[in-house]
Chain A
Amino acid sequence: MNDQTPISREERIEKLQGLGSSRKRVEDARFTQGAGNYVDDIKLPGMLFGDFVRSPYGHARIKSIKTEAALAVPGVLAVITAEDLKPLNLHYMPTLAGDVQAVLADEKVLFQGQEVAFVVATDRYAAADGVELVEVDYEGLPVINDAFKAMDDNAPLLREDIKDKMEGAHGPRKHHNHIFSWEEGDKKGTEKALADADVVVEELITYQRVHPCPLETCGCVASMDKINGKLTLWGTFQAPHAVRTVASLITNIAEHNIRVISPDIGGGFGNKVGVYPGYICAAVASIVTGKPVKWVEDRIENLSATAFARDYHMTGKIAATKDGKITGLSAHVLADHGAFDACADPTKFPAGFFSIVTGSYDIPVAYCGVDGVYTNKAPGGVAYRCSFRVTEAAYLIERMIDILARKLDMDPAEIRLKNFIKKEQFPYNSALGWEYDSGDYHTAMDKALASVDYNALRAEQEENRAAFDRGETRNLMGIGVAFFTEIVGAGPVKNCDILGLGMFDSCEIRIHPTGSAIARLGTISQGQGHATTFAQIVASEIGIPAEDITLEEGDTDTAPYGLGTYGSRSTPVAGAATAMAGRKIRAKAQMIAAYLLEVHEGDLEWDVDRFQVKGNPEAHKTMKEIAFASYNQAIPGLEPGLEAVSYYDPPNMTYPFGAYIGVVDIDVDTGVVDVRSFYALDDCGTRINPMIIEGQVHGGLTESLAIVMGQDISYDETGNIKGATLMDYFLPTAVETPNWETDFTTTPSPHHPIGAKGVGESPNVGGVPALSNAVHDAFAHKGLTHTQMPHDHWRIWKTAQKLGLTD
């Protein structure tokens, strides 16, 4: 009667490779053999290539554009400028932040690298030759490269296109270079707490402009089929469905006639959330020529024109009692958004979830305000491997806590333990309005401190400092402690949307007659391993081995609608949808099993991969048997087949947290930092695939190292971007990357169907303050309060020099 040879319950569980299994990544077979299929691998018959003429100026008026010489290059078919896009009303496009962005520069350029003209040719070489020959006559204009000067009375007007529009997407604009003001919390109460406090610390903490720098740059292939009227767009899209809807709205092509496909994506980290001029220009070029058009940016274009991250100038103030209990927090941010506000945030949150800035601490009153300004820099403001503006918030609070500890002569770990939200306070309502779903911070911190033998490290540091003062060593040891709380899984449709699209997500599961399955999701993996981990969720929910489940994402013609993958939302939202779809299937399977076993549904219980009669496990039907029955038996009252779809609107965000401790040795004569050890404890709730979690943590920590020790997208006074190649922009190799030690506690999310919280971004959020705190800690006893990142060699040497420690 049963088709399975009898095996033990444990063996049946193991066979599923479900939740908790360190199943190997199914994606890696193709990636490690060079058989991935990325945008640039797509080759279509007759395909053309587009390439941009970009502005060499940070701010200039375009006096003329001459295209004749470019058009004379053999193979160059067209040179598109803003004038060509105006009749189509496509010379500007809406941004995710409620602003507009020039697709091709309209009368003036606002940042170096801005798109000015799009050359379309039969091959890449001809396109690049054409780009060289487009003659643009510019008249230079004064440049704003410093956000603090953007709202000066005499600051040059950057955005002529909106100069009369003083009501922005997020309220009134108070200066022609002002974008928005946004605030949260109790301003008066916070001011009072600061005024009444025993101790107040205040610091300007800048989180420098950086870039996510995925290994694969952005690109697309647009193919307009003029016979059936369908536009297919392959691209490096972290949110393919949203791209389809936006493309339909701005081109007036009906949404069913647009198919968006995200093929394999070589890393996103937020860089591939936005819509870029290259996509629009490729689509227009394909519509005009009737041929497929490919656009793929190079590394310099990626670093200098597609979305940056951070660039937050944050002034923090903490009020505390003299024994170190925090009584209030105030934070004000001057946010440099570049030339257009293309920040990727849910619509109602122009500064993302920055108001998570109270962190892991029970702070009775708090206030935060953010002012966004325009400058002559590239647009963007994406969440570089973090939830929206969460890493900025975590950096601010974690630096400020250390500064407070130093002021009170307390240990950084001790002051954190003293102020943590306690386990029994969850769900916890923060002073800035978030409901933290769950947490157990003391347990995590205690485990971290014990694991690294924190007291021994501090004792060793005492000896090191004494030896340094005696002239026996030129190295200083620093210990960095950080404890972060993320807010991820955007998000509840009631307050989270992007361009009006609610931030739910989806999964559709179809069981095949022989008991294998396909699951399709509204998300898209960029390296996270969705095909591996989401199959594990399905496996545990419906009892079909993960290896028998195909997982598909990224094709809007086949996948259910979803808002994509960023902000650690895939597991909290689409992962929940996957579990819920699995439960719908199981509910129907139970009815089928009841019919087959001739019992009432209520007499059945689920056991790993089957329904069995309560008290009589020999009488059972496996999911495989049920699947077959669903296709070949006429069951009264039930439709044939076994499939389900779930659209999941999360009731709340999830709040992963972690305790990170890094130890550095700094050569004060050279400024070289050696990360001796780094311990990362993450609590991401239920752990789906521990191996993938570990990989995520390693990757995120390596990015945090890059940010802290070197990444810096800066501009000189004339608006030139400095260091937009990988010679200067720091991507660590294996040589620069230290050993990462990972650990965990497990505090499941109470509202998520499987208790998972998301982990991909935690290490970037926690790693940055931990490493920066370690660098500061090395010099703290010599009087260093704060110094801005990046902590690269020369800046550290300057710090040591200012403290009188080196020549």
Chain B
Amino acid sequence: MIPGSFEYHRPSSLADAVGLLSSLGDDALLVAGGHSLIPMMKFRMAVPEHLVDLQDVKSLKSISLDSGQISLGAMVTQAEIILSDELHVACPILREVSYQIADPQIRNLGTIGGNVANGDPGNDMPAIMQVLDATYILTGPDGEREIAAREFYESAFFTARQDNEILTTIRFAAPAAGHGSSYVKQKRKIGDYATAAAAVIVTMSGDTCASASIGLTNVADTPLWAENAASLLVGSSLDGETIKAAADAAKAITDPADDGRGPKDYRTHIAGIMVQRAIANAVDRAK
């Protein structure tokens, strides 16, 4: 559990960081909070020759809300998300999910950018960003480009980000006023990744579901946006049968690994249970 040797770089501007990535090439890795990368380095599964630390890039640390648009800098920590009352009012699912990530010590250092950019299917934020239909802003040597969270994830640890790009900002529209949301995560213990987890956002029109979005964590090699499952809810009165059908539709797109959290059939089953419970919570919270 001792990492190999590496050169440590600590740029203070985004331009310098992008420049370092370009000049150092494939041998460099970005480090944000470090809570995924450093363990990988200790296992020597990641052996970077250069580590480019983003913590002095102040421009990546802002949280902004502007006429319904929310923008999160990549270096905003989970703890900062929890502490932001403004964010909580506009988009309560962010605090709810952040509280379910690891433990307080990790949340003090773990960043939203690292969480979504790493491509680990166990991370909780990617499914949330898919549910929110967030856009990721990537900065590389040729400038900025945007990509939808729903398009970003290719397979475990493989994303649309190029090696010389930095995911700098996450942007999304605040969910409609009166929406209800919930993130329900089953895990073995504090600090664990989800056995299965589901994120749900709904808006109601009287007793009828007006819109719905469902995401799943850690039940495939990427986060999953359960489009079909959500569409079954829209226009329904969210009766038991419909919710069950939505859960079944969500289960149908999962492909969880057999691991210490349980065999595949169990984790698939739990995905369905999480969806049902998240829908129930979200509907309760919707106005």
Contact = CB atoms under 8 A, between A and B. Distances in A.
A736 interface: yes
B190 A669 contact: no
A672 B262 CA distance: 13
Contacts, number: 60
Interface stretch (B28-36, B85-93, B160-168, B263-271): B263-271
Given A670-B273, A797-B269, A299 B188 contact: no
Contacts of B5: 125, 129
A273 B263 CA distance: 36
A393 to B, nearest CB: 29
A807 interface: yes
Interface in B233-284: 260-263, 266-267, 269-270, 273
A733 B195 contact: no
A128 B192 CA distance: 28
A129 B6 CA distance: 12
B12 to A, nearest CB: 28
Interface string A728-741: 10111101100000
A669 B190 CA distance: 21
A798 B273 contact: no
Contacts of B189: 710, 730-733, 735-736
B270 to A, nearest CB: 6
A208 to B, nearest CB: 13
A528 B29 CA distance: 45
Given A670-B273, A794-B263, A710 B188 contact: yes
A512 interface: no
A7 interface: no
Contacts of A735: 189-190
B186 A670 contact: yes
Nearest to B263: A794
B44 interface: yes
Contact of B2 (A128, A792, A798): A128
A671 B188 CA distance: 11
Contact of B1 (A300, A671, A732): A300
Most chain-A Cβ atoms within 10 A of its Cβ — which of B260, B263, B266, B269? B260
Contact of A794 (B4, B193, B266, B273): B266
Given A300-B1, A669-B273, A794-B261, A736 B190 contact: yes
Interface string A717-759: 0000011000110111101100000000000000000000000
A793 interface: yes
A124 interface: yes
A411 interface: no
Interface residues of A, number: 31
- Secondary structure dominating the interface of B: loop
Interface in A322-368: none
Interface string A91-110: 00000000000000000000
Chain B, interface size category, equals 20 to 34
A727 B266 contact: no
A132 interface: yes
B260 A723 contact: yes
Contacts of B195: 793-794
B90 to A, nearest CB: 29
Interface in B170-202: 186, 188-193, 195
Best-buried of A124, A669, A731, A736 by chain B (most CB within 10 Å): A669
A537 to B, nearest CB: 39
A298 interface: yes
Contacts of A736: 189-190
Contacts of B260: 722-723, 727-728
B270 A299 contact: no
Contacts of B44: 132
Interface in B1-42: 1-2, 4-5
A733 B190 contact: yes
A722 B263 CA distance: 14
Nearest to A298: B1
Contacts of A124: 2
A792 B266 CA distance: 12
Interface string A772-807: 000000000000000000001110011000000001
Interface in A63-99: none
A600 B226 CA distance: 94
Contacts of A670: 186, 270, 273
A793 B1 contact: no
Interface in A100-151: 124-125, 127-129, 132
Contacts of A730: 188-189
Please provide the 3 A-B residue pairs with the shortest distance between their CB atoms, ordered closest to farther. Answer: A794-B262, A128-B2, A298-B1
12 contacts: A124-B2, A128-B4, A299-B1, A300-B1, A670-B273, A672-B186, A722-B260, A723-B260, A733-B191, A736-B190, A793-B188, A793-B266
Given A51-B2, A298-B1, A794-B263, 11 more contacts: A124-B2, A125-B5, A128-B4, A710-B188, A722-B260, A733-B103, A792-B262, A794-B261, A794-B262, A794-B267, A797-B266
